Amino acid sequence: MSKDKEILTNNTVEQSVVQSTASQEQSPYIQTEFGDFDTDEDILLDIKDVEMTYRLPTERIDNIKEYFIKFIKGKLRYQKFEVLKGVTLQARRGEGLALIGRNGAGKSTLLRIIAGIMDPTSGIVRTRGNMVPLLKLGAGFDGNASGEENVYLNGAMMGFSHKEMKKKYDSIVEFAELEKFMKMPIKNYSSGMLSRLAFAIAVDVQPDVLLIDEVLAVGDARFQRKCSERIDQLRDNGTTFIVVSHSMQQIKRLCKQAVYLKDGRIQMYGPTDVVSAQYLKDTMV
Amino acid sequence: MQKNNVKMSERALRLKKSYVVLSSMVARNVRNQYRRSVLGILWTVLNPLLNMLVMAFVFSNIFGRDNIEMDYAVYVLSGTIAFTIMRAATNNAMHSLVNSYDLMTKTRTPYYIFPLSHVFSALVNFGFSLIALIIVMLIRLPTGKVVFSWTMLMVLIPWLPCIFMFTTGLSLILSVIYVRFRDIGHIYSVLLTLWNYLTPVFYSLKSLNLDATAMKIMRLNPMLHYVNYFRDVINGVVPDWKTHLVCFGAGAIMLLIGLLIFRLARRSIILYI
């Protein structure tokens, strides 16, 4: 938990330093056309000029005494971190969009903003349809509850009632291959079992938009193949994917379009082949 | 027109999501309380009963009993379960935001769900406690001091909505403060003990022989009015309009403050948690 946060702040520090050197000469958009969100029903996600700035105290203060001492001494300083700036993008029905970039480029923050978990400092985010964020497998699982109860709980987080989940229950269990373990509290599950269950739930609800943050490599080779097949099936049925991943192979298979983020700005936006090639070239240097 | 419809249906979907998550969280909270216990859910009834026995035993002859016209067992139990709604809900809700870090950063669950789920769990537990109260009242029926009257229905309306508002407001405030200042956890547990003793749960206010000013100060405590209201309707008495006003007013004001603070802090919660 706290580790997560440390990484977040470290990234942003590194970023704000680099920020000043980043320059923009030419338009980063290659063969990209934006439609009108209001009239075009096929556009499921529309983001305009999104900016995200964190204002965080330079050191962590979480008790009143320290807060007042610092306040009186006038040492309550805040540092601004620009995590995202001027991000504009769109995703259409059944289209994959990949977010690539180095650690700390703002990919996960962007995904969180798209998911509606965070509000951007400025800019517009508009979405259509049922969006399922898969930012961490098993977020929202309750360790004390059995696998069965967790299926319903997790379904609830995605907006499905007990009745609706009941219809999906059998296929979820079958896909996760956990028939024997559904009555067991999931704190006794292995991590592989846990991810299989989480993944099975997420792909079974047929979302309109699926947000994925580096969670595609699940289980053993055989299960991974099964996942790929299911994802292909979802894509053919018109699910839009927004994927953060460092595996270029995976991205090329799943997404036609890619966004290359660098220091919180869009460095390049266009066909996956072109963008990923540029990204790989940049990272080699 | 079309756009409006889409917006409406999306709002409906969001509301439905919140409702489903809330109800499953409440069910989980209630179940988790008694997980791995032999008697399970029965404890929700047994717990207040046993507590009442201890209270009745400890305070049977010590102080404050003379001025109580109600049956003492019923008096203590009704006071305890009325106060417990507030205590259990706020105490659990205070930690709820911090404890749900994973859910807040990885799923799109509205924040108010977390404190609210604990308030509803407390209400469910209160429902079970009512069973205990009715059992005790049936047992004490032969003493002639216990009455069953239609006024008991006033527990459901308007008493329950009023204390629900009060508790929800306080829970929202505490959960937000706890995100910034963990000190509040220690402070509040002490305050809660003090609050419990200042509320006539097992003694009667009359027996304290307070002077007018002290009495006035004691009556500033909203929980005193909630507890008294609850006892009155259990006892077949309809409280006067002033008590109604105080109970409703305290609830509404607390809820408004809570919502306001929660709304103001909503954006920064995720940054400080």
pLDDT values of chain A reduced to their tens digit, one per residue, 285 residues:
444 444 444 444 444 444 444 444 567 887 777 888 888 888 899 999 999 988 766 666 667 777 777 777 766 667 778 889 999 999 988 888 999 999 888 898 899 899 888 888 899 999 888 888 888 777 778 888 889 988 988 888 777 888 889 999 999 999 999 999 999 988 899 888 888 898 888 888 788 898 988 776 677 888 888 888 888 888 888 899 999 988 888 888 888 899 999 999 999 999 999 999 999 998 887
Note the pLDDT tens digit of each residue in A89-110.
Answer: 999 888 889 999 998 888 988 9
Which residue of chain A has the CA closest to B25?
Answer: A153
Q: Given this model, what pLDDT does residue A75 score?
A: 67
Q: Is the ipTM of this complex over 0.95?
A: no
Q: Is A25 helix (H, G, I), strand (E, B) or coil?
A: coil
Handedness of CA A206, A207, A211, A213 (dihedral sign): negative
Cα(A113)–Cα(A54) distance, rounded to whole angstroms? 13
Segments in A75-186 forming alpha helices (H): 107-115, 147-157, 162-176
The answer to whether the CB of B199 falls within 8 A of the CB of B221 is yes
Q: Is A242 helix (H, G, I), strand (E, B) or coil?
A: strand
Short-list A140, A86, A150, A93, CA closest to A117: A140
Straight-line distance from the first to the last Cα atom of chain B, in angstroms, rounded to the nearest whole number: 40
Residues of A with CB under 8 A from a CB of B: 1, 4, 38, 54-56, 62-65, 67, 112, 115-119, 128, 130-131, 133, 135-136, 139-140, 142, 144-145, 149, 152-153, 155-162
Contact A115 B181 (CB under 8 A): no
What does A59-77 look like in DSSP terms, one character per residue? S---SHHHHHHHHHHT---
Contact A139 B267 (CB under 8 A): no
Cα(B76)–Cα(B74) distance, rounded to whole angstroms? 6
Q: What are phi and psi of A266, to 5 degrees?
A: -80, 115
Cα(B169)–Cα(B115) distance, rounded to whole angstroms? 10
Contact B183 A157 (CB under 8 A): no
Retrieve residue A198's tokens.
């989480």
The answer to whether the CB of A260 falls within 8 A of the CB of A101 is yes
Cα(B219)–Cα(B207) distance, rounded to whole angstroms? 15
Short-list A158, A164, A140, CA closest to A150: A140
Cα(A159)–Cα(A173) distance, rounded to whole angstroms? 19
Cα(B183)–Cα(B272) distance, rounded to whole angstroms? 15
Q: Given B13, B28, B180, which is nearest A142 (Cβ)?
A: B28
Q: How far is B140 from chain A (nearest CA, A)?
A: 40
Q: How far is B91 from chain A (nearest CA, A)?
A: 19
Q: Is A134 helix (H, G, I), strand (E, B) or coil?
A: strand
Cα(A182)–Cα(A193) distance, rounded to whole angstroms? 11
Q: Given this model, what pLDDT does residue B65 score?
A: 66
Cα(A169)–Cα(A152) distance, rounded to whole angstroms? 8
Query: Which residues of chain B carry a pLDDT beneath 50?
Result: 1-2
What does DSSP assign to residue B104?
Answer: H
Retrieve residue A265's tokens.
């700005």
